[in-house]
Structure 1
Amino acid sequence: MAKFKDEVANNTHRFFINKLPELLAFAGCHEDVLLSGRDFSEPKVNSSKKNSAETIIFRVDSARIMLDAVNDALYSMDETYRKIIQLYYLSNLRNFEVAERLGYCEKTINNYKLVALKTFAVRFVATQLSNGIDKKHIFDLTKTKKVA
């Protein structure tokens, strides 16, 4: 797993690696939904006897609302930064492949990825607030540990 010196970039990296696939699964979507910019209507609900229908519907709706915030945050970013995140995290390309596709050297992509992750973190918090997500349910990727 990549390790960034910046804690906000690390938080955002972990969000894309760990939490985003979980949200997509709850909403019954794949990464291609975020790549295409489509909405999250008609989710597929996988039920289990352990979960009540109400819990499943809540999870699906919550995931769809959060994915809307991810989508809005991505599409509010500079195109180059958005493409880096999409290619690296949603298309699962490696740094050299992203660099090749965008026409930059690999070192530039590494630098841009750091900025892209930090930019996404700030925009994601703002987008969640503007989309009406309750403050106690917000994924705040900008939080860092306070060192005394």
Structure 2
Amino acid sequence: MTEKLTGQAAMQKVFSKAYKYAKNGKTRIVQIAVAGKEITLAHIIGVSDKSVYKNLGLDIGTNAGKDFTGSSIGIINITPPESTVIAADIAVKSADVFIGFLDRFSGTLILTGSRTEVRTSVDEIVKYFREDLKYKTCSVTER
């Protein structure tokens, strides 16, 4: 009968086998992550220093020349990463915000606008993903 191991015991068994069969006493371990359906970060940053906007690169590309001084920033991270396209659509339809950055490969979405508008947008995104798409979501944090 095969013993069923879970958690730490299972990992210990895997690693002990890896070390047992390692060549020259060296083992290479590769970690992978399997993307679930979740929002892992949803945070609002109040008005910040101009250097923050500049270092985030919010003043390049389609926003070249835009002055973000006085804007708040909303940052969201979603898996699978393609979901950021849906989140961006919800963002601009639910509040008066600008898409500062959207990366459908990493799952990052950065929004800018007034603090109230950014908060409304982020709340709507998290609500839609939690209630309609059944994603696991984190709380929206704010600073």
TM over 0.5: no
> With CA pairs under 8 Å and 6+ residues apart, which has the higher RCO, 1 or 2?
1
Larger relative helix fraction: 1
Q: Which has the larger radius of gyration?
A: 2
**TM-score when normalising by structure 2:** 0.34
Larger relative strand fraction: 2
